[in-house]
Amino acid sequence: MSSARRFSICILCAIVILAVACATPTPTPVPTPTPRPENPLADAVFGMGLDSAGRIYTVDKRIVRIDDMSGAGLIVAGAMPFERALGTSGIALFAIAADATGRIYVTDTDNDRLIRMDDLSGGNWVVFGQEGSGPGQWNQPCGIALDGAGRIYVTDWVNDRIVRIDDMEGKNWTSFGSTGSAKGQFNGPQAVALDMAERIYVADTFNWRIVRFDDMSGKNWTSFGS
């Protein structure tokens, strides 16, 4: 083969290679995924409450406190000092509240008890209640709220009642409600709250309604939903 012919073939091959290269689109670079920020809330979030300073408390198998909605001042309790003391099922903690002095109250649902502590170090840990249906007993306590006098209101879920006690000794135990769907009855009451007039609001879960009444006698019972 002559040198001229070899040169022509090389030129032709180069043209073909260049044409193929130009026709093949340049692959789009795969973007590097942005790392997801670590979520300080470890699991399903249940109850939530505020203290007198406006700090936010919640429970997610542990107790979590933040100063504001930016997450500033994050403190988590439950992994170490509370591990042996709080419920063992993984979903034991349901609701949380704080009184005017900053003490923390928790419904330890699966252990059928209330817990009060001075702060998130667990100082002055106090427990009240055990499983049952009589005074001083709970069957999966859920919601918790405090009134202006510091009295404690609890929804006793399986016992279908609302309980009010003066303190963590159970003084002046007062209960209201029974199982059913009529006035003065509940079916799985969970959350409880009080307004400025200290009227009582209850989420009556399996009756699909919200209930409000003036006091622990059920006066002025009003419901919304069905």
Per DSSP, helices labelled H in 24-179 are: none
Answer whether 40-128 and 142-226 agree in fold. Answer: yes
- Read off the tokens for 8: 């022509």
What are the pLDDT digits (tens) for 96-128?
999 999 999 999 998 899 999 999 888 999 999
What strands, in cross-sheet order, belong to the sheet with 222-225?
189-194, 200-204, 209-213, 222-225
Q: Where are the domains of the chain?
A: 40-128, 142-226
Q: What predicted TM-score, i.e. pTM, was given to this entire model?
A: 0.79
**What's 128's DSSP letter?**
E
Residues 128 and 157 sit within 8 Å (Cβ to Cβ): no
Report, at the CATH architecture level, how domain 40-128 is classified. Answer: Beta Barrel (2.40)
Which has the closest alpha carbon to 89: 65, 130, 61?
61
Q: How many helices (H) and strands (E) does the chain have?
A: 1, 20
Pick the CATH number of 142-226 from 1.10.3720.10, 3.40.50.720, 3.30.930.10, 2.40.10.500: 2.40.10.500
Whether 37 has a pLDDT exceeding 70, the answer reads no
Residue 108 burial (10 A CB sphere; 0-12, 13-18, 19+): buried
Predicted confidence (pLDDT) per residue in 148-206, tens digit: 999 999 999 999 999 999 999 999 999 999 999 999 999 999 999 999 999 999 999 99
Classify residue 117 by burial, with Cβ atoms within 10 Å: 0-12, 13-18, 19+.
buried
> pLDDT tens digits for 54-84?
999 998 778 899 999 999 999 888 753 344 4
